[in-house]
Structure 1
Amino acid sequence: MLAAERRNHLLRLLATQGKVLAKDVAAELGISEDSVRRDLRELAAEGLCQRVYGGALPASPATADYAARQTVAPDGKRRVASVAAGLVPAGGAVILDGGTTALAVARALPRDLSCTVITHSPTIAAALLDHPAADLFLLGGRVFKHSAVACGAAAVEAAQNVSADLCLLGVTGVHPEAGLTTGDAEEAAMKRALAARAADTYILASSEKIGTASRFRVLPWGKITGLITDASPDDAVLARLAGDGVAVLTAR
């Protein structure tokens, strides 16, 4: 089998099975595991898969910079945001993560909803400046320009001094085995710090993130209250997550 044919075969496996195990592919094709791993390295270098121990998972398409991500799945993000905004209690406090889906949540909050919004995203804070009933608390730190959020030690320390009823958290990858992931280690640490300060944490994930993975794990499934997504309830990944006890809120 030619190298191009092997690559296409690997991509088909990622699309249909949600993962590739190097030893299984090597046995199936009668080639060495080293050949499979070399193919996976090349695919990963092109952003077409996320390598993990023993093989690879589908790569998340949500790792582009902030400006580019604003054009990805805007309708799905609005549907997710509508459900998420409905979870914010009147008079309560919500920790709102950064990112384009969280920005859609900020825009979806009813203008007459009295609440406190805690965020490490200057973009989110700016979007709520004309929200008359929302008190805003902006957590500071080094600004990670890729996602327009504050990260690093100062931001994590600031997060440890707040508390909220609800945390609405964005990720770039949602996979049954890899868990909830994102593409930057410091951003992952900040997300964990935010989630730790809320009574309930819901993950915001439009359909293109379902079944994909990024390099750094944010949280295991047992640390969240539920997942909000516009992916079809018949999606195999969602069915598996529901079977594992993950609460899935469908945004349709």
Structure 2
Amino acid sequence: MLKAERHKYIMTRLIEDQKVVTTDLALALDLSEDTIRRDLNELDNKNLLEKVYGGAIQSAEKPADVFDIVIAAEEEKKKIVTKALSLLHDGQVIIMSGGSTNLVFAKLIPSDLKATIYTYSLPIAMQLSQHPNIDLIFIGGKMQKNAMVTIGMDVIQVLSKIKADICFIGASSINVKQGLTEVGYEVSIVKKAMIESSDKVVSMFASSKLNTKMPHIVCDLNQLDTIVTDLDPEDLRLEEYRKLGVFIL
């Protein structure tokens, strides 16, 4: 992976997670921790992030209003999620995980869609609360503050009782061998429960997450029905995923 590609990946993860951990980045990119530290030093020197012990945090100040959420690369994410709007139909029971791509998706759900949506993401719940025809169920539990999602047994118990038609699940990382993987164990367990409760599983993510990995497995590729990226579905970078039977939008 070229340095520019590594830097782009690091900044994408930083914006989405508000922090990055050196060991996690090294694992995801299959590089040495020394290489990651050099990259973080360079980005810190450019004032693009603030290097701290064990990783880095965002250098920009957070919005004064905690719910005034800035979505990085929002226009690019709109191009991704617009492809998935065709998967929505009246009467569906839907589960949505957290993440900025799913938040953009929530913003674009047509106002005339009549569906029931479960989510454990506070920003997505707030967005969908403005939708005139969505029956919204927010799943409460212990709040993971950096991502503003709920986690823990309370969430898993609710998910286990849902019979959903489709779920839209965010991806921290994806590769052919490990499938979907996550940075945090608790989030990975919640996503497993989400998948188990859904007839169809759709994952939407930027192509920078292709062929990367995190410590905690969410699911194998054969558990995904559809993946949606910013790439053309026939792009060669998606060939191995197609061969494994995943439908690509």
What TM-score range do you get, normalising by the shorter chain? 0.7 to 0.9
Query: Aligned partners of 2:203, 2:234: CA distance in 1, in Å?
Result: 19
Residue 93 of structure 1 pairs with residue 109 of structure 2: no
Provide the secondary structure at the position in 2 that maps to 1:102.
Answer: helix
Label 1:74 to 1:64 Cα distance change in 2 as closer, same or farther (>3 A): farther
Structure 1, unpaired ranges of 5+: 1-10, 16-38, 49-62
Q: Which residue of 2 aligns with 1:132?
A: 132
Residues 150-189 of structure 1: CA deviation (Å, up to 9, x unaligned)? 1111111111121211000001112112311121110011
The CA RMSD measured in Å over matched residues stands at 2.8
> Which protein has the larger Cα radius of gyration, Structure 1 or Structure 2?
1
SS in 1 for 2:245: coil
8 Å Cα contact 1:96-1:168 kept in structure 2? yes
What residue in structure 1 maps to residue 53 of structure 2? none
Q: Which residue of 2 aligns with 1:172?
A: 172
- The equivalent of 2:32 in structure 1 is 40
Distance 1:106 1:124, change over 3 A: same
- 1:51-103 superposed Cα distances (whole Å, 9 cap, x missing partner): xxxxxxxxxxxx988x7995433223112221223212211111011110111
* 1:1-252 alignment runs, 5 A limit: 11-12=1-2, 40-43=32-35, 70-233=70-233, 235-249=235-249
**Cα distance change, pair 127–219 in 1 and its aligned pair in 2 (3 A):** same
1:122, 1:196 → 2: CA distance?
A: 22
SS in 1 for 2:32: helix
Cα distance in 1, alignment partners of residues 180 and 37 from structure 2: 22
In the superposition, the TM-score normalised over structure 1's length comes to 0.72
**Code of the aligned partner of 2:179:** G
Number of equivalences: 202
| 1:129-168: CA deviation from partner (whole Å, max 9, x where unpaired) | 1211000011111111222111111111111121211000
Name structure 2 gaps, 5 residues minimum: 6-30, 41-55, 64-68
Deviation at 1:47, TM superposition (A): 7.8
Where do 4+ consecutive residues of structure 1 move more than 4 Å? 44-48, 67-71
Conserved in 2, the CA contact under 8 Å of 1:211 and 1:237? no
- Asked whether the equivalents of residues 95 and 166 of structure 2 are also in contact (C-alpha less than 8 Å), the reply is yes
Query: Equivalents in 2 of 1:158, 1:47: separation in Å?
Result: 42
* Partners of 1:43 and 1:71 in 2: CA distance: 28
Q: Residue 91 and residue 234 in structure 1: after superposition, are their counterparts in 2 closer, same or farther (change >3 A)?
A: closer
- Give the 3 Å change call, closer, same or farther, for CA 96–46 of structure 1 in structure 2: farther
1:199-244 residue CA offsets vs partner (Å, 9 max, x unmatched):
1001111222122222221110111111111124454431111122
Residue of structure 2 equivalent to 1:20:
none
CA–CA distance in structure 2, aligned partners of residues 121 and 154 of structure 1: 14
Kept in 1, the 8 Å contact 2:222–2:244? The answer is no
Q: Tell me if the contact between 2:221 and 2:244 (Cα under 8 Å) persists in the aligned partners.
A: no
